[in-house]
A = this chain, B = another copy of it.
Amino acid sequence: MLSFENDYSEGAHPAILQRFVETNLEQVPGYGSDPYCDSAKEKIRAACNCPDAEIFFLVGGTQTNAVVIDSMLQAYEGVVSAQTGHVNAHEAGAIEYTGHKVLAIPQYDGKMKASDLEAYLKTFWQDESHEHMVFPGMVYISHPTEYGTLYTKQELTDLSAICRRYEIPLYLDGARLGYGLMSKHTDVTLPDIAELCDVFYIGGTKVGALCGEALVFTKHNMPKYFVTHVKQHGALLAKGRLAGVQFDTLFTDNLYFEISKHAIEMAELLKQGFAEKGYQFHLDSPTNQQFIVLDDAKYNELQKQVRCCFWEKPDDTHTVVRFATSWATPKENIDELMKLL
């Protein structure tokens, strides 16, 4: 059965598995202090054009979000997010579990507007009773967003400027960062992100790794004793090599970018195919997730041969469905899907 259900259906890029095999019996220190982690960090620093970046590898996205937010915020602070931000909507309350409120502001195709953010911060600080409220202590954005959309460089620059004015960090969740960077419709580069954000993560789980996210602190701002924070969250890998080998491979010879580019090319083909057949798009996504409006009869029929992801019901007779491509999507699958439509 054909599947476009998500971008984590397959294992890892074969080069990663091969590297596991090659390095398997080497004895290396635990907890992230092995040479593979060191090498991966060096390569990521270079790719970010941020030679002083402090980097830590974690296992998954929700875990990374919880550790970052909890370790960087003061107890009385919360994190500002668009209403649809992953931390607000789909992490089972993992952020609140750490004791911090997610301060939701409006979203537009998954993005927050700088003007909304600024108004929120201004209103908070002007409120005479703000000491009875949750202090906005960080801004969370995802890029690509949960809707596959992207911030422009100007938009990121504006958000960054506001954060600096209010002296709070800008945190970018890059669970699908590769697909954002390789989009044909972006002017944002990895060095741009390293410059404009105070902390961000480069997603591995959805971009070719078995698991793993590379968390990057760009401003000498990694919380003190960060490894203890991580351990306390149950997030410290004994065999740090699990992440180290993967990211070292992904950042060798541009692999991370090459495989992301492939996913984008497949998404563009898929998009073009749906468009040519007259399907309606729920929104215009420039990345590997495409949101198509199907009439329910078509949706039911299609489900017999294709796995895709239910998104929402815009009305009683239609369904919005997500088709995701990934580093692993073969072109044949796109062709076959097009035949089925």
Contact = CB atoms under 8 A, between A and B. Distances in A.
Given A17-B20, A24-B17, A91 B132 contact: yes
A179 interface: no
A91 B227 CA distance: 11
Contacts of A9: 27-30
A235 B63 contact: yes
A128 B62 contact: no
A198 interface: no
Interface string A134-146: 1100000000000
B71 A92 contact: no
Interface stretch (A238-246, A258-266, A268-276): A238-246
Contact of A241 (B11, B29, B30, B129): B11
Contacts of A51: none
Contacts of A242: 210-211
Copies of this chain held together in the complex: 4
Contact of A131 (B66, B99, B206, B228): B228
Chain A, interface residues (CB within 8 Å), range? 35 or more
Contacts of A224: 74
Contacts of A12: 20, 24
A25 B11 contact: yes
Main secondary structure of the interface of A (DSSP, over half): loop
Nearest to A313: B126
A95 B242 CA distance: 25
A225 to B, nearest CB: 5
A228 B21 CA distance: 34
B101 A96 contact: yes
A146 B238 CA distance: 16
Nearest to A100: B96
A3 B27 CA distance: 7
A134 B210 contact: no
Interface in A253-293: none
Given A21-B17, A27-B3, A233-B234, A100 B104 contact: no
Given A17-B20, A24-B17, A93-B134, A8 B239 contact: yes
Given A24-B12, A59-B59, A211-B239, A93 B70 contact: no
Nearest to A206: B238
A6 B29 CA distance: 9
A10 B30 contact: no
Nearest to A126: B313
A35 interface: no
B128 A90 contact: no
12 contacts: A11-B26, A12-B24, A62-B236, A76-B92, A90-B132, A96-B134, A131-B225, A135-B225, A205-B238, A205-B239, A211-B238, A234-B234
Given A14-B24, A60-B237, 20 more contacts: A9-B27, A9-B28, A9-B30, A10-B25, A10-B27, A17-B17, A62-B234, A74-B225, A75-B229, A78-B93, A78-B96, A90-B129, A90-B132, A90-B133, A93-B100, A93-B101, A93-B134, A93-B232, A210-B239, A211-B237
